[in-house]
Each structure stands twice: as C-alpha cells, then as structure tokens.
Amino acid sequence: MRYMINRLAPAVVILLSVFVLAGCSGVFGESPREQADQAISNANKSISEHNELFAKARSTYAAVKQKIESGDDPSEEKDSIAEAKNTLEKARKHLQDARESLGTVADLDVDPSVTKYARLQSEAMDAQLAAEAKEIEFYGILEEDPALQNNREKAIDLLSEVGNDYQKAKKIYDEAQKVADANPKLIEAAPE
C-alpha cells in the first residue's frame, strides 16, 4: 500500500503558521495598546507645541498690558495685541489636534485606566479650548479698543469666564495626572 503525501499540505501549514505568528506579532497592524501609546505620544507632541505658542502669546500680552498700565498710548499696541491673538489661535489648533488624537483611545480595547486618562485629558482640553476661545475674544476687544474705554464691562466679564474655564481645566488635568501617577507603567505623562 502506497502512502500518499499531499505535497501542498506542508506549504499550507507553514503559510497558516506564518499568518498566525504575524497576527500575534502585530505585522498586520498595531495592537490596541500600541495604538493608544501612539495616540498619547502624538497628543503629547501637540501639547508641547501648544504650550510653546501659548507661552509666547501670554508673554506678548503681558508686555502689552504693562505698557498700557504704565501710561503708554494703547493704540500703539494694536499690532502686538493682534500678534498675541494670532499666536493663541495657532496654539489652539495644536491643542485641538491633541484632543482629536486622544479621542481615538476611547474605542480601543486597552486597560480602563488608559481610556480614563484619555477621557479626562480630552475633557480638560475641552475646558481649556473654551477658555482660549474666550481669551481670543478678549484680545479681539482689546485690539479694537486697547484702552477699554467702550468695552470694559464686557472685557472684565470675559476675563472672569476665562479664569473659571481655566480653573475647570486645571481641576480635570489634575484628575488625569492622578490616574497617570497611579499607573506609571501604562500611561506616559503629558508635558507640563
């Protein structure tokens, strides 16, 4: 009796083994954990870029404010105010990018602390983006009326809202940081 060996059987078994091993090693795509790590890393880069531009906008505004308070003609500061406003708008775009990047983590099958961290960071960014939008509105008022002769009340109200929104953002960022601190091996901390 002759034994028949199917010559294709070893090739099929080897080919199937390659697919199984490749699937386990992530050759066909990143694992959910790797996707979450990448999203958080991308968000951190965008946050760093945001923070640099935000600091630049704030320092420009602080210089303008000091000149106005020292009695200099506020109308000469319109260009600087516009620069601060434009810089803050650019900064916001980076924060929006970070927000979008973290939004992808919610649908991934990863440790719940990772999704909680991403959710909290996103909520804090929403509050910060709201504050920055109002701050840009304030810069717009200041650009048109640097001495705030006609819009002082509106400007003061906006600054109050801005402060409240930044406080809300800080509170949520602190919660997210507690989650990150409790899970240092799972979560890469965001830049300061």
How much is the average pLDDT of 90-114?
Answer: 94
Determine the Cα–Cα distance for residues 180 and 149; give it in Å rounded to an integer: 46
Average pLDDT over residues 31-40: 90
**How do residues 4-23 score in pLDDT, each as one tens digit?**
444 444 444 454 454 544 44
Average pLDDT over every residue of 137-160: 88
Average pLDDT of the residues in 48-53: 96
pLDDT band at 28 (very low <50, low <70, confident <90, very high): low
Q: Determine the pLDDT at residue 128.
A: 96
Q: What is the pLDDT of residue 67?
A: 75
Report in angstroms the alpha-carbon separations of 180 from 10, 48, 96: 49, 18, 21
At residue 178, the pLDDT reads 95
Q: How confident is the model at residue 188 (pLDDT cuts 50, 70, 90)?
A: low
Q: What is the pLDDT of residue 1?
A: 46
Percent of the residues in the chain that have a pLDDT greater than 70, as a whole number? 81
CATH code for the domain defined by 32-182: 1.20.120
Name the pTM for this structure. Answer: 0.78
> Mean pLDDT, the chain, as a whole number?
83
* Structural tokens at position 170: 């800080």
Between 166 and 188, where is the model more confident? 166
d(CA 50, CA 190): 12
Where are the chain's structural domains?
32-182
Flag whether pLDDT at 2 surpasses 70. Answer: no
CA distance 65 to 22: 60
Residue 191, SS3 per DSSP: coil
**What pLDDT does 3 receive?**
45
Q: How many residues does the chain have?
A: 192
Packing angle of the helix pair 112-144, 78-103 (nearest 10 deg): 160
pLDDT of the residue at 78: 84
Cβ neighbours of residue 173 closer than 8 Å, sequence gap 6 or more: 120, 121, 124
d(CA 77, CA 44): 34
